[in-house]
């Protein structure tokens, strides 16, 4: 099964990491993988563009099926290999509702985080304003506080209950990026505990981004 799969990925890409965690959780080790360099523009190569015309990573093939969007790839793997590995979406309707809610909320956390740490890259220098950047950081702070609150109210140590689920596959990479880039352990004790506890989970440990091992993170989120 896994031998028919190919993943093109880039180190530090949160969407790529999601798919890699899902593959590990579904016991699909042994898939073909190609680590590409964003700096060298390898994600715009013909090989990638033939699979993902957007020239983005991840690019993912399962047999003759192509699923490049990370949410789609993770859900595909869960649906296609439902009885294999970790059950990422529970059968119980109440539990399923919470998992799906947290999973799709994860996109909001991701986007607000990206708005902050990509601000200087995306906004031309002559158009940057300290007040605009401050508002983005305040918006992110409110979002992170919301996730801290979720963990305070949810027993079990995971984002959607007592079991590791699709919500953790999708959201954990964003949480890890926040702490890699300076988020305060003291200000967010529950998120910090969640981050540290899952760091040693086999699927996460096996896919930990080389970027995080080789490059020190910037303290962009230390005041968040």
Distance linking the first and last C-alpha atoms of the chain = 43
Taking residues 47-58, report their average pLDDT.
Answer: 95
pTM value is: 0.94
Per-residue confidence (pLDDT) for residue 131, from 0 to 100: 85
Joined together, the tokens standing for residue 87 give: 């059950």
What percent of the chain clears pLDDT 90, i.e. is strictly above it? 80
Distance separating alpha carbons of residues 152 and 134, to the nearest angstrom: 27
Per-residue confidence (pLDDT) for residue 77, from 0 to 100: 98
pLDDT in tens, 14-28: 999 999 999 999 999
CB neighbours of 50 closer than 8 A, spacing ≥ 6?
A: none
Distance separating alpha carbons of residues 116 and 222, to the nearest angstrom: 12
- Which band of pLDDT confidence, cut at 50, 70 and 90, is reported for residue 42? very high
**Rg of the chain in Å (alpha carbons):** 18
Q: Answer whether 61's CB lies under 8 Å from 51's CB.
A: yes
Q: Answer whether 16's CB lies under 8 Å from 10's CB.
A: yes
- DSSP conformation letters of 22-34: HHHHTT-TT-EEE
- Which band of pLDDT confidence, cut at 50, 70 and 90, is reported for residue 76? very high
Per-residue confidence (pLDDT) for residue 45, from 0 to 100: 94
pLDDT in tens, 94-145: 999 999 999 999 999 999 999 997 876 777 777 778 888 889 899 999 999 9
pLDDT in tens, 171-215: 999 999 999 999 999 999 999 999 999 999 999 999 999 988 877
Q: Kindly report whether the peptide bond that precedes residue 93 is cis, defined as omega within 30 degrees of 0.
A: no
């Amino acid at each position: 099964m896994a031998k028919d799969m190919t993943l093109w990925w880039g180190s530090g890409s949160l969407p790529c990491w999601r798919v890699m965690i899902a593959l590990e959780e579904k016991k699909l080790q042994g898939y073909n993988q190609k680590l590409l360099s964003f700096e060298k523009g390898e994600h715009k190569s013909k090989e990638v563009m033939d699979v993902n015309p957007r020239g983005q990573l991840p690019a993912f093939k399962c047999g003759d099926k192509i699923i490049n969007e990370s949410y789609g790839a993770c859900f595909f793997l869960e649906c296609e290999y439902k009885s294999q590995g970790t059950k990422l979406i529970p059968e119980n309707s109440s539990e399923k509702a919470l998992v799906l809610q947290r999973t799709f909320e994860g996109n909001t956390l991701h986007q607000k985080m990206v708005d902050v740490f990509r601000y200087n890259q995306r906004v031309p220098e002559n158009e940057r304003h300290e007040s605009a950047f401050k508002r983005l950081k305040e918006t992110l702070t409110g979002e992170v506080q919301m996730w801290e609150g979720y963990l305070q109210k949810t027993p079990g140590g995971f984002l959607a209950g007592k079991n590791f689920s699709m919500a953790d596959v999708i959201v954990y990479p964003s949480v890890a990026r926040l702490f890699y880039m300076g988020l305060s352990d003291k200000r967010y004790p529950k998120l910090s505990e969640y981050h540290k506890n899952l760091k040693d989970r086999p699927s996460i440990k096996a896919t930990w981004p080389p970027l995080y091992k080789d490059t020190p993170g910037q303290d962009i989120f230390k005041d968040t």
